[in-house]
Structure 1
C-alpha cells in the first residue's frame, strides 16, 4: 500500500483518537502511586493479588504503582492522610469484619473511605480436623455440640479467621438452641500457631486454607500431622470457577464436596452460610473522583482482555472484577449479613 502525506496524517489522527481516552485518563493521575495493603507479608495472598493488579494497571496507564505491605492499621492511616490520590489501598473482608468484631485500629470503612472495585477472591478459607478425629463432617461436629460435647476451634480472632467460627456457633444455635455454648474459641495467631494447637491437642478444629493446609491432608492418616478438610466457606459458584485439577491432591470436585450445599452450615434454618474472601480497592473519600473513575474504567478494560484472569487462576485466585458502584452494594450486603450473624451470637460468645 502506498502512503501519501494525507493518508499518513489521517492514520495518525485516527490513532490519536483511539489512544485519547487512555492518554486523558493517565494525564489526570499521579505519575507515581503507592498501593498500601492491609498485610505486612510480601508472601501472602493480599500481596500476591495486589501485585498482579498493580502491575496490570501500571502497564495500561503508563504510571508507576508500588505495592507497600504496611499492615492494616498503618495502611488505613496512610490512606486517610492522602487526599491527593497518590495513595490507594487494596485489602479484603477483614477491613470491615475487624470493625464488626471491635478490633482496635479498624474503623467503619463504608463511612470513612470510598469503596472501589473488587478484583479477586481467594476461595481457600477452610476448617480442618486431625485425620484421626472422630468428626468426619460438619454435621458430626454440630451434632456433638448438641449432645453436650465441647468443640474447641482454633482461630485468629477478629476477622476472616473468626467469621466461620461465628457461623458455626450461629448454626449450632439455630439447630439446637444453647448448643452454641459448646463451640468455643481457642484464640491463636498465625496459621502455624493454629496448626500447632491441633498437633498439641489443644483444638479439635482449626481455621486454615487450601493453600496452607492442603499438603497436610495428603499425609498418611497415621502421621500425627495429618489433617482432613471438613468445610470450605466459599460459595459453590466461586469454587466452580477454580481449575478442575484444584490444588495438590485435592481436585475441584473434592473441594465442592466440602462446600455448600454438600456440606451445610446453616445460616437461618433455610439457607447455608457462605463466605468468599474478596479483595477490593479503598480510596480516600476526599480524593478527586476522576482518579478512582480512571482506575475503575481501566480495570474493566484489563479484565475484559482476559490476561490478568489467567494469571490469577494460575495462582489459585478467582477473578472477580465488579465496578465501583456494584462493589459498594455487594460489600454492604455482605457486611449486613455477617453483622447479623455476629450480633445474634454476641451474647453467647
Structure 2
C-alpha cells in the first residue's frame, strides 16, 4: 500500500470513528454527564486507575464529562441502588461477588440485586510471596510442607480477592492430603503494607500480594529483611501471555510465566488447576433500562474495536478484556459458582 492510499485509509477510519461517536452522542438515552462510583476509596489503587482509563475513553467517545468517584464498596452499591437513569454507574471487580460468598457485611448477590454490565480489563498481578530466605522455593513446597505437618501462616485480607487464593490452596491440600489442610492457617490483616510487615517480622510464611506492589521487594538482595520471592500468580497463563514483554518493573513476562499454572500447580478439583483473574466490570441499578445497558455496550464495544484503549491499559499492566453485558454476566456467574464450591469445601 502506497503512502497516499495509507493516508486515505487512515482518514476514512478516523471519519468513520467521528461519525460513530456523533451518532452515539445524538442517540444517547442518558441525560448529561456520567458519574462512575467505584468499590474502592483509594485514588492510587488499581480500581481507580483502571476505571479512569475507561472513563477518559467514554468521555471522548460520547463528548461528555465522566467523573470517577472513589467512594468505597458500600457507598457505591448504595449510589446505584438509588439511581436507575444511567448517569450513575459503578465499576468494581470480583470482590463484588466474593464479598457475598464470604458473607461480608454490605455485600449481596450482584447477579440478583444489580445488573452486571460489561467486563473491561484484568489485573493479572494477584500473587503469593515468601521471604527470599524461605526454605520454600515453590508453591508445591508449601503444599508439601503442610502435608508433612508443618504449620504455614498466610497473611491475607479476609473476605474477597485477597482470600480466594488462600481458599484455593487450602482446598488443593484437602484434595491431595485430606486432613492436612488445617496446617495452612490464615493470618487475617488489612492493607498490603500490613501483610508485608508480617512477612518482614517473621509473623507469616506466605503473603498475598501483587506484582505491582511487591515486585520491587523481589529485586532486593537475599540478606535484606524485606527481600521477597514470588511463588504463585493466580492468573491464567493466557492472561500473562498478553502482557507486554517487559512485564512489570524488572520482572519480564517470561519470568512471570514461571509462577502460573501449569508451572505453579494448585489443583481445583483433582483434574484441573485453580486460576483467578481479577477482572473489572460495570454494575448497574437492577431497574436500569435495557436500552441504556445496550448503549453502554455499544459505546464500549466501539472503543475497544478502535484499539487505542488496549495500549493504554497494557502500559499500566492491565490486560484488555472487553465482554458485552450478556456475555459478561454468564462468564462471571460461572466464576462465582466455581469459587462457591471451593469456599464451601473448606468451611
Which TM class, normalised by the smaller chain length?
Answer: over 0.9
The superposition leaves residues 199-247 of structure 1 with CA deviations (integer Å, 9 ceiling, x where unpaired) of 1111000000000000000000010100000000000010000011111
Alpha-carbon separation, structure 2, partners of 1:22 and 1:73? 32
Classify the secondary structure of the residue corresponding to 2:27: helix
Classify the secondary structure of the residue corresponding to 2:333: helix
Alpha-carbon separation, structure 2, partners of 1:96 and 1:289? 22
Output the aligned Cα RMSD: 1.5
Offset, 1:292: 1.7
Alpha-carbon separation, structure 2, partners of 1:229 and 1:123? 14
Alpha-carbon separation, structure 1, partners of 2:17 and 2:71? 41
Residue 307 (structure 1) aligns with: 308
Classify the secondary structure of the residue corresponding to 1:275: coil
Q: Tell whether 2:88 aligns with 1:87.
A: yes
Q: Tell whether 2:200 aligns with 1:181.
A: no
1:193-208 to 2 correspondences below 5 Å: 193-208=194-209
The superposition leaves residues 156-188 of structure 1 with CA deviations (integer Å, 9 ceiling, x where unpaired) of 000000000001100100110011100000000
Alpha-carbon separation, structure 2, partners of 1:15 and 1:171? 49
Alpha-carbon separation, structure 2, partners of 1:135 and 1:17? 58
Q: Tell whether 2:333 aligns with 1:323.
A: no
Residue 22 (structure 1) aligns with: 24
Alpha-carbon separation, structure 1, partners of 2:220 and 2:279? 30
Offset, 1:21: 3.3
The superposition leaves residues 241-281 of structure 1 with CA deviations (integer Å, 9 ceiling, x where unpaired) of 00111111211111011000011011111110000000000
1:206-285 to 2 correspondences below 5 Å: 206-285=207-286
Alpha-carbon separation, structure 1, partners of 2:17 and 2:236? 44
Residue 344 (structure 2) aligns with: 343
Alpha-carbon separation, structure 2, partners of 1:329 and 1:188? 33
Residue 100 (structure 1) aligns with: 101
Shift of the 266–282 alpha-carbon distance from structure 1 to 2, 3 Å rule, reads same
* TM-score normalised over the length of structure 2: 0.93
Offset, 1:307: 0.5
Task: Give the gaps of 5 or more residues in structure 2.
Answer: 1-15
- How many residue pairs end up in the alignment? 332
Alpha-carbon separation, structure 2, partners of 1:213 and 1:313? 18
- Of 280-289 and 309-318, more deviation after overlay is shown by 280-289
Classify the secondary structure of the residue corresponding to 1:300: helix
Alpha-carbon separation, structure 1, partners of 2:27 and 2:196? 47
Shift of the 308–175 alpha-carbon distance from structure 1 to 2, 3 Å rule, reads same
Offset, 1:285: 1.0
Task: State the structure with more CA Rg.
Answer: 1
Q: Give the 4+ runs in structure 1 shifted more than 3 A.
A: 14-21
Shift of the 31–145 alpha-carbon distance from structure 1 to 2, 3 Å rule, reads same
Task: Give the gaps of 5 or more residues in structure 1.
Answer: 1-13
Residue 144 (structure 1) aligns with: 145
